[in-house]
Amino acid sequence: MLRLMHVHAHPDDESSKGAASTVKYVREGVDVHVVTCTGGERGSILNPKMERPDVLENITEIRRAEMDAAREILGVRQDWLGYVDSGWPEGDPKPPLPEGCFGLVDPEVAAEPLVRLIRELRPHVVTTYDENGGYPHPDHIMCHKISMVAFEAAGDPERYPEAGEPWQPLKLYYQHGFNRPRFVAIHEAMEAAGLESPFAERLQEWKVDPEHDARITTRVPCGEYFEVRDRALIAHATQIDPDGFFFKAPIEIQQRVWPTEEFELVTSHVETTLPEDDLFAGIRGRDDLD
Ligand SMILES: [Zn+2]
């Protein structure tokens, strides 16, 4: 059985990043495990319908329940690392991060529970964010840092000797689903269809970065699961406005012009040929797999 582990910063990231390929792999019979570093307790409420005092008072429990619902929809297993959300620092200059939050941990220390999970669950493939966190939230950057430490260390018996039997995952990827060319393609297709594109303003502010786009190595076809991806995202009701720009692009257009999700292969202990269309390229079909 093939095993895939996604490491994410907050509940909702598993549904907004790479979720359609997650569903594709789940339906194929791959064991997909989501690791969520923080409880998301400092996430701003981004859905006007949920901005109520009773929601704010119980945000930790509510975000757990939202994650339960998303997990069911995606068909994944999931573990919490138990770190505390750093929140998005707002202001100029930015205020210091709150004491005890995930963004301030020592990555070498904070990677320990992740090493433990990798050794216990023995994924063949691990995904995380790039060095900029995908976007520069302190929790996303720390998620990157502990993932890098854990991917390297999990197979090394000298490191974290108390954290279980060594296990070396075979491939490490960064999530690249939020790439500009994808939004351009959907934007242009919507305009061509006479629809008002929700991305016009965003694209104006989003600077062209061909170097970053060129880092994509792997495009996983998963258009038929976009509908499931959207349902999982909507399950995070405090974080996502179902009437927001995210859901304004018709699924048929997305399926036609951009039916894939993108990843960057960072480390591989197996042979593979780039570009790829499968996170398990070079692993699938091997008869020596544990
Ligand atoms: Zn996040």
Q: Is residue 124 in a domain?
A: yes
Q: Is the residue at 154 inside a domain?
A: yes
Q: What is the whole-number distance in angstroms between the Cα of residue 37 and the centre of ligand 1?
A: 10
Task: Report the pLDDT averaged over residues 72-96.
Answer: 95
Token pair of 107 as six digits = 């990555």
pTM score, two decimals? 0.96
Tell me: the pLDDT tens digits for 132-185?
987 889 999 999 999 999 999 999 999 999 999 999 999 999 999 999 999 999
3-class DSSP state for residue 198?
coil
Q: Return the pLDDT at 290.
A: 87
pLDDT at 239: 92
290 is known to lie in a ligand binding site: no
- Kindly report the CATH number assigned to the domain that includes residue 109: 3.40.50.10320
**For residues 169 and 126, is the Cβ–Cβ distance under 8 A?**
yes
Ordered DSSP codes for 141-155 = HHHHHHHHHHHHHTT
Q: How far is the CA of 58 from the centre of ligand 1 (A)?
A: 19
Number of Cβ atoms within 10 Å of the Cβ of 84: 21
**Is residue 252 pLDDT above 90, yes or no?**
yes
Residue 212 annotated as binding site? no
User: Cα of 38 to ligand 1 centre, how many Å?
Assistant: 9
- Cα(86) to ligand 1 centroid in Å equals 10
- Which of 111-120, 133-142, 203-212 is predicted most confidently? 111-120
| Average pLDDT of span 242-258 | 93
Taking the centre of ligand 1 as the mean of its atom positions, its distance from the CA of residue 168, in whole angstroms, is 26
Range of the domain at 142: 3-178+215-268
Question: Does residue 38 sit within a domain?
Answer: yes
The arithmetic mean of pLDDT across residues 48-67, rounded, is 92
Residue 13 marked in a binding site: yes
- Cα(248) to ligand 1 centroid in Å equals 21
Query: 235 lies in a domain?
Result: yes
**Which residues 6+ apart lie within 8 Å of 203 measured at CB?**
180, 183, 184, 187
In the predicted model, what is the mean pLDDT of the chain? 96
Q: In angstroms, rounded to a whole number, what is the distance separating the alpha carbons of residues 197 and 200?
A: 6
Q: Specify if 16 maps to a domain.
A: yes
Give the Å distance between the CA of 265 and the centre of ligand 1.
21
Contact 103, 138 (CB under 8 A): yes
Specify if 226 maps to a domain.
yes
Give the number of domains in the chain.
1
State residue 85 phi and psi, 5-degree precision: -45, 135
**Residue in 83, 142, 163, 146 with CA at minimum distance from that of residue 111:** 146
- Under the banding of pLDDT at 50, 70 and 90, the label for residue 196 is very high
Residue 108 forms part of a structural domain: yes
Give the pLDDT of residue 117: 98
CB hemisphere CA count around 28 (13 angstroms): 20
Instruction: Please indicate, yes or no, if residue 202 is contained in any of the structural domains.
Output: no
